[in-house]
Structure 1
Amino acid sequence: MEYRRRELLGASAAGIAAAVGGCLGLGDDQSEGSIAGEELALATTTSTEATGLLDELNAAFEERFGTRVAANAQGTGQAIESARNGNADVILVHARSREDEFMQEGYGVNRRDLMFNDFVIVGPSDDPAGASDAEGAVAAFDAIASAEAAFVSRGDESGTHTKELVIWEEAGIEPGGEWYQELGQGMGETLTHANEAGAYTLADRGTYLSRDDIDLEILVQGPIEGGPELLANPYGIMAVNPEIHSNVNYQLAIAYIGFVTSPDGQEVIEDFTANGEQLFYPEALSENPNFQQYVPEGWQPDSSDE
């Protein structure tokens, strides 16, 4: 479902300054440039919604600024496409290669690292393919394909699906056949289907841990529990460029980014749990900030300018 975009005036310099000042706790007055009463269009991933974290973050933001967040949770690919079409003010996603493409095309500005968890390979406890005995994610996928054991893919161009395709590529396998099923659904639906079918799947740890109604077990851990870095799952947030889409509420987008990357927003992320487990780990605050978060991976300055 796409947003019905409202016509908005471009943010004034005074408005942007007021929004950023509010994010930093520099004032809560309703002076010129106040964002109270406005609505933020947020395109995000299904994992933030399915775990319940999105409700916690948005409630804290709405209480602080007196605004409403209209969130549309989709796979990362769909969320980015919504923003590319001007149907979002800000996006919160987890596929760095897709984020980089969005930024390089000029659609995104002010990208920030927000949080991380990791991916895990889950499956039935009897593990017919022996995935748990394999050394790493690539070997586990190879074992599943070799055994033609049932595997359920999200198949929706989400961040999880993107990562899954990377693993298959590293394994030198093009999955297909009766054992491999693409759903075109979110993480929650994929876990439910895999559970019912006794199949393997790749899941983000947060969504998996938030479910207490499935029997699937983690067979290959991600880096949080000592597994391979290939299964790392970082989340980024960025505003949609108002120079591309004049209807974007850039002032409100910057306020939201400022809040969720502030100590208050990062505390919400750190304290959020489900079934007694921490689902996400804050990453916006660091004694040694990572410059690379602001630009596409691998970007280097033009040596001809030196």
Structure 2
Amino acid sequence: MAIQRRGFLALAGGTAAAGLAGCTGTFSGGEESEGGNESTSGGGSIADQELVLATTTSTYDTGLLDEVNAAFEENFGTPVQAISQGTGAALETARAGDCDIVMVHARSQEDEFMRNGYGINRRDLMYNDFVIVGPSDDPAGIGGSGDAVGAFQAIAESQSLFASRGDNSGTNTAELQIWEAAGVEPGGEWYLETGQGMGDTLNQASQQGGYTLSDRGTFISQQDEIELEILVQGPVEGGPEILANPYGVLAINPAVHDNVNYQLAMSYIGFLTSQEGQDVIENYELDGEQLFFPQALSEDPNFQQYVPEGWQPEGTDGGNATGE
């Protein structure tokens, strides 16, 4: 891999450094399995290589990342270096060629990434949902509502404190889409942009008695340390679809960055979307609660997962090209 990428990993700070510290300590390198695991690129066994993954803070904060990466290393004998960032920052890392693969949860940003040629072979991976959380006294009166858009409108009208990640993450992208649907341009003293990850944003909302939008998994992982409760459920518990939170995994295009380990990235995608990888995701729990739901395997495949949403071949009018 390129020297400049190793330098990036050595110098990365903040959540990136936290992600590396949290994930690399699990791995000792692994040995070549009986099957050989020989690389077709002539670089020796897969165990001699290293995968660099840029991913969201939610996969790291919940502990899922350690679980899936340990299972991958057990199968392939190679460590995974993980950079834990918001989706926007993870995709910027990928644009620079400083990782081999990204696992994120903002389809609009993933689509732009693919349209610009940086990512290929996208797969639907898993999903959970977002929830609107807030203090038990609920000054905006949104508790029990099945309307996320209406809840945001009520928060704005009451000027109750709302803590936004404000970091171009997948959660922040989803939040801004709800504000847009509500016809509200958030701002002013009641709207706090933390510029932090989900865990820190939950802590700030809790300390200041405010509301926030959180992915369910991170909220469950931290609910014992904060004084917030779920006031509006997402679709996992019958709530509105606008709170759905799907995750995708993409390989970095080796035609754009020839330093990336494309073969190992595709091995990782193949493992995570296999029955074994999907079982790891499905069986991962915290406090007896399932945090993520596998989405890669289906008897009715979704071909749109491989390309930007709404994409059609040139020369077609919403249908398949026929060559006629």
Deviations 1:150-194 (A, max 9, x none): 110001100000000000011111111111100110001111111
Q: Distance in 1 between matches of 2:151 and 2:49?
A: 48
* Kept after mapping to 2: 8 A contact 1:38/1:67: yes
Q: Which residue of 2 aligns with 1:282?
A: 294
Q: Distance in 2 between matches of 1:248 and 1:130?
A: 50
Q: Which residue of 2 aligns with 1:111?
A: 122
- 1:84 counterpart letter in structure 2: R
Q: SS where residue 54 of structure 2 aligns?
A: strand
Q: Which residue of 1 aligns with 2:183?
A: 172
- 1:179 counterpart letter in structure 2: W
Distance 1:258 1:30, change over 3 A: closer
Q: Which residue of 2 aligns with 1:127?
A: 138
Distance 1:198 1:242, change over 3 A: same
Distance 1:210 1:292, change over 3 A: same
Q: SS where residue 47 of structure 2 aligns?
A: coil
Q: Distance in 1 between matches of 2:39 and 2:156?
A: 60
Q: Which residue of 2 aligns with 1:31?
A: 38
Q: Distance in 2 between matches of 1:242 and 1:133?
A: 48
Gaps of 5+ in 1: 8-26
Normalised by the size of structure 2, how large is the TM-score? 0.85
Distance 1:42 1:31, change over 3 A: closer
Distance 1:4 1:32, change over 3 A: closer
Gaps of 5+ in 2: 8-33
Shift of 1:63: 1.4
Select which of 245, 249, 272 maps to 2:284: 272
- 1:102 counterpart letter in structure 2: F
- 1:214 counterpart letter in structure 2: I
Shift of 1:131: 1.5
Q: Distance in 2 between matches of 1:195 and 1:139?
A: 22
- 2:108 counterpart letter in structure 1: S
Q: Which residue of 1 aligns with 2:31?
A: none
* Kept after mapping to 1: 8 A contact 2:146/2:239: no
Q: Distance in 1 between matches of 2:225 and 2:6?
A: 40
Q: Which residue of 2 aligns with 1:202?
A: 213
Q: Distance in 2 between matches of 1:135 and 1:68?
A: 43
Q: Distance in 2 between matches of 1:263 and 1:207?
A: 25
2:245 counterpart of 1:245: no
Alignment of 1:48-63 (within 5 A): 48-63=59-74
Deviates more, 1:125-134 or 1:149-158: 125-134
Deviations 1:277-300 (A, max 9, x none): 100000011111111111111112
Shift of 1:32: 4.9
Select which of 108, 115, 133 maps to 1:97: 108
Deviations 1:92-117 (A, max 9, x none): 00000000000011000100000000
Select which of 60, 63, 74 maps to 2:85: 74
Deviations 1:221-274 (A, max 9, x none): 101111100000000001000000010100110011101111111111000001
Q: Distance in 2 between matches of 1:110 and 1:291?
A: 11
Select which of 239, 243, 246 maps to 1:234: 246
Q: Which residue of 1 aligns with 2:15?
A: none
Q: SS where residue 5 of structure 1 aligns?
A: helix
Q: SS where residue 110 of structure 1 aligns?
A: strand
Identity across the alignment (%): 66
Shift of 1:135: 4.5
RMSD: 1.5
* Kept after mapping to 2: 8 A contact 1:134/1:143: no
Q: SS where residue 5 of structure 2 aligns?
A: coil
- Higher relative contact order (Cα pairs below 8 Å, separated by 6+ residues): 1
* Kept after mapping to 2: 8 A contact 1:43/1:91: yes
Q: Distance in 1 between matches of 2:58 and 2:37?
A: 34
Q: Distance in 2 between matches of 1:93 and 1:296?
A: 14
